[in-house]
Amino acid sequence: MSDTTNQRRIKIFDTTLRDGEQSPGCSMNLQEKLELAAALVELGVDIIEAGFPIASPGDFESVKAIAGSVRGAVICGLARCNDKDIDRAWEALKLAPQSRIHVFLATSAIHREFKLKMTREEITERAIAGVRRACSYCDDVEFSPEDAARTERDFLCQVVEAAITAGATTVNIPDTVGYAMPQEYGAVIAMLKNKVPNIDKAVISTHCHNDLGLAVANSLAGVENGAGQIECTINGIGERAGNASLEEVVMAMKTRFDHYHCVTGINTPRLVPTSRLLSSITGLQVQRNKAIGGSNAVAHAAGIHQDGMLKERRTYEIMSPEDVGFKATDLVLGKHSGRAALADRSKSLGYKLTGEQLQSVFDEFKKLADKKKEIYDGDIIALIEAHLHGPEREEWKLIAFDVTSGSGHKPRVKLTLRHGDKEFTEELSDGDGPIDCAFLATEKITGIKLKCVDYQVRSASLGHDALGEVNLTVEYGNQTFRGRGVSTDTVEATVHAILVAVNRVAMTKGA
């Protein structure tokens, strides 16, 4: 058992809803943000950075909704060091029982010269004013000197000291462009601990980007040198190459407690379910070989590894799959399995279904069971997520489709959709392939012209009869919409995904 005598508690600051959402293709609607925020509370994060309230009316409303309804974590809003930003942030946050205003201002020479056109003295004055205004609203205020990793060391110490004197209770040290090396970043944190006279009055935080693949290593180097908070995101999503991955920094500290002597409040068996939830919301799938959350992370194919695992799992596993939310066994269900078995398996996979949701998923499960002999966890997850993350209502519903395609002749599609009490059928053969035909037929029936900007197909489980899972992103007007569909027939899965996107467009139009 680990010796916990000298352990430190590291706060986990999750910025999936703010920095993570700034990643291209990762925008979320209000309901999705509320769902993810609730999952983050269940995961055990300490602080949820819910958004950047002044960035847009949508961001303001989502931060306000999360602050008003989500309990169990500090709710944080981002603001630049100016009055309008800070006032707007507080307006969004004021309903939260625990709130934090996070103010930031760039400090590096390149940002001062080319972006802000401000002197060191002006930067310091602006930072002090921003922190003081935030403190007039709440006691929990975080200050970030943007691009701190490339800021002159003496000036960084000066700004941090001034911010703490003004009332900042957390000082975050961002490696904004992912430039620092671990030893270098750790030295910056150590320097602040040693040279800033009032540093004991604030928590030092890390915020590292992954441009050189070092976000996790830099964050951990910060912890080794005295940081008490890590800013990170689920699956490491974020601008450019992303942020430090929450699941990786947490499990590194847990697995190597002998080295770090640090603990977090994270409920680690919720890591994989939360990762899957984010993937289902954004459509960005986790690579199979990703640390902690990837499906290959607990797979062993090499004969030598398998032999060692059979004799003693610790020969090739440094953490238990169950510790992060993977299941030790992949329970196989079939057409004779009942609702109780499906309910139990859904719960063990991390889903809380209402009676109505369970019945809907069970109906689809039975249809799938008639097509497949064995249904695996991946199939069940795909069914549940397709149901949970479809549009709130179906304006257009698939009734039937028929597709033919082959060498030497044009593909043909016959598609029938229902809208209200009426059915509409379109038959055409002028597409480049069956998928293109499906898009064209849908556009002609619905009158909604879409531009497909991303299309992905993957197998949801094992075997040649596995469910095909389609995730696509389309553009309509100036907005992007995502669709998801599952079926043993990939063309059918594509039609379902197209209709999910179409129905979201229709809802936006008020159809």
Query: What is the structure's pLDDT at 332?
Result: 61
Residues 202 and 263 in one domain: yes
Residue at 303 is within a domain: no
CATH of residue 202: 3.20.20.70
**Residue 462 predicted with pLDDT over 80:** no
CA neighbor of 62 nearest in space, from 24, 16, 105: 16
> DSSP class of residue 197?
T
Boundary residue ending a domain (340, 362, 388)? 388
**For residue 131, how far is the Cα from the chain centroid?**
29
Residues 135 and 51 in one domain: yes
Residues 339 and 470 in one domain: no
The residue-averaged pLDDT of 284-292 equals: 81
Q: How far apart, in whole angstroms, are the C-alpha atoms of residue 23 and residue 8? A: 32
Domain membership of residue 209 as a residue range: 10-282
Residue at 296 is within a domain: no
What sign results for the dihedral spanned by CA atoms 445, 451, 457, 460? negative
Joined together, the tokens standing for residue 500 give 């999910």
Joined together, the tokens standing for residue 198 give 């009032």
Tokens 């069971």 locate to: 369
Query: What is the structure's pLDDT at 370?
Result: 82
Q: How far apart, in whole angstroms, are the C-alpha atoms of residue 491 and residue 509? A: 27
Residues 364 and 479 in one domain: no
CB 218 within 8 A of CB 206: yes
Residues 43 and 185 in one domain: yes
**For residue 94, how far is the Cα from the chain centroid?**
25
Phi-psi label, residue 164: left if phi above 0, alpha if psi -120 to 50, beta otherwise:
alpha
Query: What is the structure's pLDDT at 1?
Result: 41
Joined together, the tokens standing for residue 354 give 């209402």
**Residue 70 predicted with pLDDT over 50:** yes
Residue at 261 is within a domain: yes
**Residue 281 predicted with pLDDT over 60:** yes
Residue at 169 is within a domain: yes
Residue type, position 287, single letter: Q
**Residue 43 predicted with pLDDT over 70:** yes
274 versus 350: which is more confidently predicted? 274
For the chain, what is the radius of gyration of the CA atoms?
Answer: 25
Residue type, position 164, single letter: I
pLDDT digits (tens, 9 = 90+) for 350-401: 777 888 889 988 988 888 888 776 777 778 887 887 777 666 667 898 999 8
- Poorest-confidence range of 4-18, 115-129, 252-266? 4-18
SS3 7: coil
Measured from the Cβ of residue 269, the count of other Cβ atoms closer than 10 Å reads 16
CB 413 within 8 A of CB 428: yes
Measured from the Cβ of residue 251, the count of other Cβ atoms closer than 10 Å reads 22
The residue-averaged pLDDT of 154-182 equals: 98
Q: How far apart, in whole angstroms, are the C-alpha atoms of residue 476 and residue 502? A: 9
Residues 57 and 163 in one domain: yes
Query: What is the structure's pLDDT at 306?
Result: 40
The residue-averaged pLDDT of 72-97 equals: 98
Total tally of structural domains belonging to the chain: 3
Q: How far apart, in whole angstroms, are the C-alpha atoms of residue 485 and residue 499? A: 9
Single pTM value for the model: 0.79
Residues 151 and 267 in one domain: yes
Boundary residue ending a domain (388, 410, 429)? 388
pLDDT digits (tens, 9 = 90+) for 475-487: 888 888 888 888 8
Confidence of residue 164 (pLDDT cuts 50, 70, 90): very high
Residue at 4 is within a domain: no
491 versus 176: which is more confidently predicted? 176
CB 444 within 8 A of CB 502: no
Burial of 304 (0-12, 13-18, 19+ CB in 10 A): exposed
Residue type, position 256, single letter: R
Residue at 307 is within a domain: no
Confidence of residue 465 (pLDDT cuts 50, 70, 90): low
Q: How far apart, in whole angstroms, are the C-alpha atoms of residue 509 and residue 506? A: 5
**For residue 405, how far is the Cα from the chain centroid?**
38
**Residue 302 predicted with pLDDT over 50:** no
Residue at 53 is within a domain: yes
**Residue 3 predicted with pLDDT over 60:** no
CB 434 within 8 A of CB 403: yes
pLDDT digits (tens, 9 = 90+) for 51-66: 999 999 999 999 999 9
73 versus 493: which is more confidently predicted? 73
CA distances for 151 relative to 146, 159, 330, angstroms = 9, 10, 50
Are β-strands 409-419 and 422-428 bridged in parallel, bridged antiparallel, or unpaired?
Answer: antiparallel
Q: Which residues of 410-445 are buried (b: 16+ CB within 10 A; e: fewer)?
A: ebbbbbbbeeeeeeeebeeeebeebbebbbbbbeeb
Residues 439 and 334 in one domain: no
CA neighbor of 279 nearest in space, from 494, 52, 3, 23: 23
Residues 249 and 120 in one domain: yes
Residue at 414 is within a domain: yes
Boundary residue ending a domain (363, 388, 413)? 388
Q: How far apart, in whole angstroms, are the C-alpha atoms of residue 152 and residue 461? A: 51
Q: How far apart, in whole angstroms, are the C-alpha atoms of residue 339 and residue 331? A: 15
CATH of residue 408: 3.30.160.270
List, as own/partner pairs, every contact residues 20-27 make where C-beta atoms lie below 8 angstroms and the sequence separation is at least 24, other chains included: 20/233, 20/234, 20/237, 20/238, 20/242, 20/243, 21/51, 22/238, 22/239, 23/237, 23/238, 23/239, 23/242, 23/284, 25/282, 25/283, 25/284, 25/454, 25/473, 25/480, 26/237, 26/282, 26/284, 27/480
Q: Residue 88 forms beta bridges with which residues?
A: none
Residue type, position 107, single letter: T
Q: How far apart, in whole angstroms, are the C-alpha atoms of residue 462 and residue 458? A: 11
Residues 47 and 20 in one domain: yes
Joined together, the tokens standing for residue 169 give 């209770």
**For residue 15, how far is the Cα from the chain centroid?**
9
Phi, psi of 57 (to 5 degrees): -60, -35
Residues 146 and 223 in one domain: yes
Confidence of residue 309 (pLDDT cuts 50, 70, 90): very low
Q: Which of 229-233, 272-276, 299-303, 482-486 has the highest mean pLDDT?
A: 229-233
Residues 351 and 222 in one domain: no
- Poorest-confidence range of 33-42, 200-209, 461-470? 461-470
- Poorest-confidence range of 143-157, 261-275, 284-298, 414-428? 284-298
